[in-house]
Amino acid sequence: MAVLLGVIFSLNQLTKYRELMIMKAVGLNISKIIVPIIYSSLFISLGVFGLNELLVPPCIQKANMLRLTKIEKRSIKSIYENISFKYANQFFYIKVYNSQTREMSTLQMIEQNPDKTVSIRIDASSGKWEKYNNEYEWTLLDGITRRFNPHGEVQNIEKFQELKLILKYSPEDFREINPEEMNIFSLFDYITSLKESGYYPRDMLVDFYQKISFPFASFFITLVGIPFALHSKRSGKATGFGMSIVIAFIYWVSMSLGLAWGKSSVLPPQFAPFLPNFICLMLGTYLLHGVRS
């Protein structure tokens, strides 16, 4: 919005005092004015993208924590009950999980064959996990391992006091998360882990692509704002402000529709967040062609 206002007000001033008319009269191509504005809006969008990745997620996380603890007077949740999730051919159930100590109590793991029959079942009274590089070591305590034959009959039973499993995920990967508190890289890794577990996170895919599309709103809105400002005949600041409000409102409506359609399967999640940018690109290109001609 600020970039759009700056573009429209600046070009309105050039039009108001007939500076554009003089430039055209001496043979100066209008693109000499338009191109620097477009490049400037692109650099601003890249800067916004960088800030959204580096500063915004930790700030939102801190703000949410302050809101919960200082304003709503709520304690930070660290104990989770009845967690169940699926990863590839493995199913997990954890009765109680402490996210601060990484400790689990009463957990069960079931591994399936390709034909969906159970091959292994592990029950443990407690457990804990640690991260090593890109893998997670689960230490299960006081449990039983049951192995089944292809007919579903118990083939072997083994008791253990300690069993270590090397896995590619932890319970943290399947807790409820807020995409606003993550940058695109961490959100992409989380989405990938959910896909590998057999779940298609459509809503999070829409949020992921929105993190890419929205920072470039300034660039695409500028493409529409430039021709509107150049076509206005010596209009005042009030007209320029009203024009900015209308363009920003249209962008906001198309963005809201795109996100809603993406999350409701009307549009692919890879395309839905880019709907307002696509509309502005088509409209802006058409209008700019008319200005240059």
pLDDT tens for each residue of 159-184: 999 999 888 778 877 666 678 878 88
SS3 286: helix
Distance of CA 83 to the CA centre of its chain: 24
**Alpha carbon distance 282, 195 (integer Å):** 34
Contacts for 236 with CB less than 8 Å, ≥ 6 apart: 12, 16
Q: What is the pTM of this model?
A: 0.68
Residue 219 CB neighbours (<10 A): 23
pLDDT tens for the chain, 293 residues long, are 677 777 766 776 666 666 666 766 666 677 777 888 888 889 989 998 999 888 888 888 788 777 767 776 666 667 777 777 777 788 888 888 888 888 999 999 988 888 888 899 999 999 999 988 778 899 999 999 999 988 888 889 999 999 998 887 788 776 666 788 788 888 887 788 777 666 678 888 999 999 999 999 989 988 888 877 776 655 556 666 777 788 888 888 999 999 999 999 899 999 999 999 999 899 888 887 766 55
Long-range CB contacts (within 8 A, 24+) of 245-251: 247/4, 247/221, 248/1, 248/4, 248/221, 251/217, 251/220, 251/221, 251/276, 251/280
Give the Cα separation of 281 and 232 in Å (integer): 20
